[in-house]
Structures are given as structure tokens and as C-alpha cells.
Structure 1
């Protein structure tokens, strides 16, 4: 079975959200921010080969992290083979206040 390698593009807002979450965890416990970032990086790598997770909001798909209460929100452009990471949201965040549009 051939691996479909998709290019990953992370919106600047999503990068900021990843940094904010990593900084929060690092402030809670030494090395925890690094563990958060490594898990996010692992899931980003998964999206390079398997981006077809749950479609939640019309064309926006979601992928929850396993060890941390966050979800990656993304779109897939199949023809260009690009995954656009739009946001990283806390699972405790009120879905009515999310910045995803």
C-alpha cells in the first residue's frame, strides 16, 4: 500500500496556540511542555500520511490528542495534497467561543 504524503501547513494562529499550550504545561511542570510539543509533533506527522479523520464542521476535520486535552482542527486539500492545520483548541474551551471560522 502506497503512503500518501501530504504537506503540512500550520496557520500562524495555530502555531501560537501550540506555543501557548506548551508554555502553559512547562509552567506547570518542568519538561511537561516538551512532552506536549512532542505529542503534537507526532500527531502532525500522522497527518502527513493519514489526514482523513473525523469531519466535524463541513470541511474542517478534527484529531484529538491522546495524552493532553487538546484537539487539532484542520482542512485537507486532496488535489494539492496539503493539510492545513487551522487551530489547536482545548477540550475544556467553550465550543461557542472558538476562533475557528
Structure 2
């Protein structure tokens, strides 16, 4: 089944802020973070039901080499990314 990927503006902001934080720490680390996000989004679109529901119908996909997770919902033929948070962050910040 083909799913349409929707990234909410808040999730886009999470990604941009996190990549900038990594870039400030080390040159090109922010770019590497973005590459890992893109890789994981591709995997999610290929098999979204592979990822466990963790809370309120929200699934989590962990990012390799970074302590972050993509929080997303599968809604019929859409994948909605609602946040990209550090694994220690409280998802209640946007719930």
C-alpha cells in the first residue's frame, strides 16, 4: 500500500532546530542528522506498521546514531509525522 507522507510544521521545526544544534556542535553533524531522518522516513513509508504503537495511536521510529525518534500516526493512506523528539523529551509538550 502506498502512503502519503505528511510532516506537520511543528515536526519540521523539531527537525530544523535539532539539526542546527548538531551543526553548532560539529561541522556536518547537522547534515548527517538530516540524512538519517530522511533515511528513516523512507523506511517508514515502505512499512509503517512495522513500528510499534507507543501511545495514543502514535508509533515511534528511532533514528540510528542519534537519540531521537520520529513520532507518527498511520491514518488510512496517510502517514502523519507529528514530532521528532529526543528520546528523553516528553511527548506531552505537543499533546
Q: Scaled by the length of structure 1, what TM-score is found? A: 0.87
Q: Does 1:48 align with 2:51?
A: no
Maintained 8 Å contact 1:89/1:98 = no
1:27-38 matched pairs, under 5 angstroms: 27-38=24-35
Structure 1 residue ranges, 4+ long, deviating more than 3 angstroms after superposition: none
Q: Does 1:57 align with 2:55?
A: yes
Provide the secondary structure at the position in 1 that maps to 2:2: coil
1:48 Cα deviation from its structure 2 partner: 1.2
Match of 2:84 in 1: 88
Maintained 8 Å contact 1:6/1:47 = no
Per-residue CA distance 1:2-54 (angstroms, 9 max, x = gap): xx221100000000000000000000000000000000001011111111111
Gaps of 5+ in 1: none
Match of 2:3 in 1: 6
Q: Scaled by the length of structure 2, what TM-score is found? A: 0.92
Q: Aligned Cα RMSD in Å?
A: 1.2
Provide the secondary structure at the position in 2 that maps to 1:92: coil
How many residues get paired? Answer: 94
1:67-82 matched pairs, under 5 angstroms: 67-78=65-76, 81-82=77-78
Provide the secondary structure at the position in 2 that maps to 1:21: helix
